[in-house]
């Protein structure tokens, strides 16, 4: 993908120009960013350090690509609100809802899954809530990716027939930009 040396500086292979950029370039610690990561980028990468006179040192880092989940809201009536959440990944993401204690659940579906031609799985789940006038509360779609258990919450607040959408990323890497970093001396 890319190389760094004091003599030649930062070099990105022509195929990856515009997609790969250095975020840190030093002889003992280097990091690159992959822009617009796709499923094809999911792999383990080797970081090779040539050190004189010790020779070459190799470290590897693995990239897991996930997608950012959409949450849809549909106001069915003055007080009835339907929310749906879906996510695509490898392995299949699990989805559950975290609802405020005063939420009146009208209907909640089990998580449905569909296998895609590229080997990924799309999971979907929905919930319908009854919200009285001037009701305010948070509805969270929480996603877990396989054994990694990366969780994200999307906060949706319904307040007196108007909808405010706020996206909160709790932790993890549900992003289209990924950072690959390797350090020769500070391995975890």
147: helix, strand or coil = helix
What's the number of CA atoms in the CB half-sphere (13 Å) around residue 99? 19
Separation CA 38–CA 34 (nearest Å): 9
DSSP string, 29-82: EEEEEESS--GGG-EEEEEEEEETTTEEEEEEEEE----PPPEEEEE-SSSEEE
Residue 61 has pLDDT above 60, yes or no: yes
Does residue 185 surpass a pLDDT of 50? no
pLDDT band at 58 (very low <50, low <70, confident <90, very high): confident
Distance between CA atoms of residues 63 and 86, nearest Å:
22
The three-class DSSP label of residue 14 is: helix
Phi (first) and psi of residue 175, to 5 degrees: -145, 155
What is the rounded average pLDDT of the residues 72-95? 79
Q: Residues of CATH 2.60.40.10 domain(s) within the chain?
A: 71-168
pLDDT(47) > 70: yes
Report whether 136 contacts 107 (CB < 8 A): no
Nearest to 144 by CA among 72, 91, 71: 91
CA gap 96, 122 in Å, rounded: 14
How big is the CA angle at 70 (ends 133 and 66), to the nearest 5 degrees? 145
Q: Can you tell me the mean pLDDT for 35-42?
A: 76
Distance CA 89, CA 65 (A): 8
3-state DSSP call for residue 127? Answer: strand
Query: What confidence score (pLDDT) does residue 18 get?
Result: 87
The superfamily in CATH containing domain 71-168 is Immunoglobulins (2.60.40.10)
Q: What is the pLDDT, as a whole number, of residue 95? A: 84
- The percentage of the chain sitting over the pLDDT mark of 70, rounded to a whole number, equals 69
Please compute the mean of the pLDDT values over residues 150-174 and round it to a whole number: 43
């Amino acid at each position: 993908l890319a190389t760094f040396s004091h003599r030649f500086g930062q070099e990105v292979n022509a195929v990856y120009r515009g997609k790969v950029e250095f975020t840190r370039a030093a002889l003992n610690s280097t990091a690159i960013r992959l822009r617009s990561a796709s499923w094809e980028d999911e792999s383990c990468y080797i970081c090779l350090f040539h050190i004189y006179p010790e020779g070459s040192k190799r470290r590897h880092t693995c990239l897991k690509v996930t997608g950012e989940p959409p949450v849809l809201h549909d106001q069915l009536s003055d007080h009835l609100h339907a929310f749906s959440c879906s996510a695509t990944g490898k392995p299949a993401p699990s989805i559950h809802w975290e609802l405020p204690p005063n939420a009146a659940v009208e209907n909640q579906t089990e998580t449905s899954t569909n296998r895609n031609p590229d080997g990924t799985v799309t999971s979907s789940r929905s919930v319908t809530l009854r919200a009285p006038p001037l009701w305010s509360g948070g509805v969270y779609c929480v996603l877990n990716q396989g054994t990694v258990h990366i969780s994200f919450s999307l906060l949706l607040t319904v307040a007196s027939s108007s909808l405010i959408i706020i996206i909160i990323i709790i932790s993890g890497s549900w992003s289209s930009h990924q950072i690959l970093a390797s350090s020769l001396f500070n391995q975890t």
